[in-house]
Amino acid sequence: MSIPATLPDPELSTKHARLAAILEARGADGLVLRSPGALGWFLGGARTHVSLAGAPVAEVLVQRNGAHLLVFGNEAARLFAEELPVGLETIEVPWAENLSAHTGRTATDLGLAMVLDEDEVALELRAARAALLPLEQERYRQLCADTARTLGDVLFEAVPRDTERGIASRLAARLMLDGSDPLVVLVAGADRLGFRHPLPTANPVGNMFMAVLCARREGLIANVTRWVSFAPRSAGQLRAEASILEVEAEILEATRPGVSLASILPVIQAAYPRHGFETDEWIRHHQGGPTGYVGRDPRLVPGVTDTVVAGQAFAWNPSAPGVKVEDTMLLTETGFEVLSVDPRWPTLTVAGRQRPAILER
């Protein structure tokens, strides 16, 4: 069953218009959305997953004048009762059958001659979801504030004998209480601070540790890193902590509406040695990039062709051995609004911005 071009849900209607423009520009009749990020964006944050590691249980076939939602029959009742925007109609697919095959047959039945897959218009789709609507920005503010508060609630109570898994479990539990999915929960104790993606172990955290959360709610993803120290730090460590914030400041200054995302990479490459790090430090871990309905949308790599826009969210994460900074921020016409703020967390001023300090316990 088709959805009229003027949809009862204004968010859905606005997003449909952006996709219809892609179809018009490509001379195409349809577009299939099947990834978690694309579905989460188009459906206003609907949870179309069951397993966090599994494929969505629904697909959307977008046409110029409407759309079709195809969903496994055993999931339809929950989705329509609890998740989906008002006004959507559906085609139910038996759970034992191939969802994509049904989407293809639906396109044929509708006489859609040229149907695009997400991968064919990845750049255009990223551009369509880059500028967040005002209601999306408000959802993001609340999610990021909740995620930063969760980190604070747990880390203010942590002690050196706590294990990485113990801290991670408390973080994940708090996220679930807030209605968020814990997509990434990392904890590195004093013996593992050299690892950039430290999956938690049974080791105690010791005198210093890092915790990272990537939390998803209503489709949007908050990305936050915080550090705790229980002992005095060396002069070299203190210099590195200050220097990584200077690297971040250069990245933030270079991230302005209208610039190419690719133009920021040379800034990052030059910033590390300028602030005392190895010249090739940027190669040793990804530097982050735009965020929103995908953890990085896209991750900044050589060759990206996206353009930065106002209303876009970013999560840059410069790092070096034993130091890292990461917050989720909203880019406005006048600069960055940091979304993942806990007013209890200690801060220091860098380039006129309040940035997270190491929590000293």
Per-residue pLDDT, 89:
72
Tens-place pLDDT, residues 344-359: 999 999 999 999 999 9
Query: How many domains does the chain divide into?
Result: 2
- pLDDT band at residue 228, thresholds of 50, 70 and 90? very high
Cβ atoms of 152 and 342 within 8 Å: the answer is: yes
- Regarding whether 275 and 245 lie in a shared domain, the answer is yes
pLDDT at 53: 92
CATH of the domain at 350: 3.90.230.10
Over residues 323-345, the mean pLDDT reads 98
Residue 1's pLDDT is what?
34
pLDDT of 5 strictly over 70: no
- For position 89, which CATH number holds? 3.40.350.10
Asked if 359 and 155 touch (Cβ cutoff 8 Å), the reply is yes
CA angle 136, 139, 144 (to 5 degrees): 120
Mean pLDDT of 192-197: 95
Q: Residue 2: inside a domain, yes or no?
A: no
Amino acid letter, residue 16: H
119 located within any domain: yes
What pLDDT is attached to residue 3? 42
* Residue that has been written with the tokens 């009862």 in this structure: 8
Q: What is the mean pLDDT of the chain?
A: 96
- Residue 209 domain flag: yes
Considering the domain architecture, whether residues 124 and 143 belong to the same structural domain is answered as: no
Residues 119 and 195 in one domain: no
Instruction: Tell me if 84 sits within 8 A of 39, measured CB to CB.
Output: no
pLDDT score of 7: 53
In the predicted model, what is the mean pLDDT of residues 323-328? Answer: 98
In a domain, 108, yes or no: yes
Q: Let me know whether 95 and 141 are in one domain.
A: no
In this structure, are residues 296 and 184 in contact, taking their beta carbons and an 8 Å threshold? no
pLDDT (tens digit per residue) in 241-288: 999 999 999 999 999 999 999 999 999 999 999 999 999 999 999 999
Same-domain check for residues 69 and 143:
no
Is residue 2 pLDDT above 70, yes or no? Answer: no
Q: What mean pLDDT is predicted for residues 306-323?
A: 98
> Does residue 100 sit in the same domain as residue 158?
no
- Are residues 194 and 315 part of one domain? yes
Q: Read off the pLDDT band of 8 (50, 70, 90).
A: low
Question: Domain for residue 257, yes or no?
Answer: yes
* Domain termination residue (choose one: 129, 164, 179): 129
User: What is the pLDDT at residue 90?
Assistant: 87
Which domain range does residue 118 map to? 10-129
Q: In this structure, which long-range contacts are made by residues 10-14, counting pairs with CB atoms below 8 Å and at least 24 apart in sequence?
A: 11/44, 11/85, 11/133, 11/135, 11/136, 12/42, 12/43, 12/44, 12/85, 12/87, 12/88, 14/133
In this prediction, residues 201-216 reach a mean pLDDT of 98
Can you tell me the mean pLDDT for 119-137?
98
Cβ burial 350-361 (10 Å sphere, 16+ → b, else e): beebebbebbee
- Residue 359 token pair: 């929590």
Residues 56 and 24 reside in one and the same domain: yes
**63 with 155, same domain?**
no
208 lies in the same domain as 104: no
**Residue 329 scores a pLDDT above 80:** yes
* Among candidate residues 129, 154, 176, the one where a domain is terminated: 129
Angle at 131 between CA 55 and CA 223, to 5 degrees: 55
Question: Does residue 43 belong to any structural domain of this protein?
Answer: yes
Please give the average per-residue pLDDT across 100-107, as a whole number.
97
At residue 179, does pLDDT exceed 70?
Answer: yes
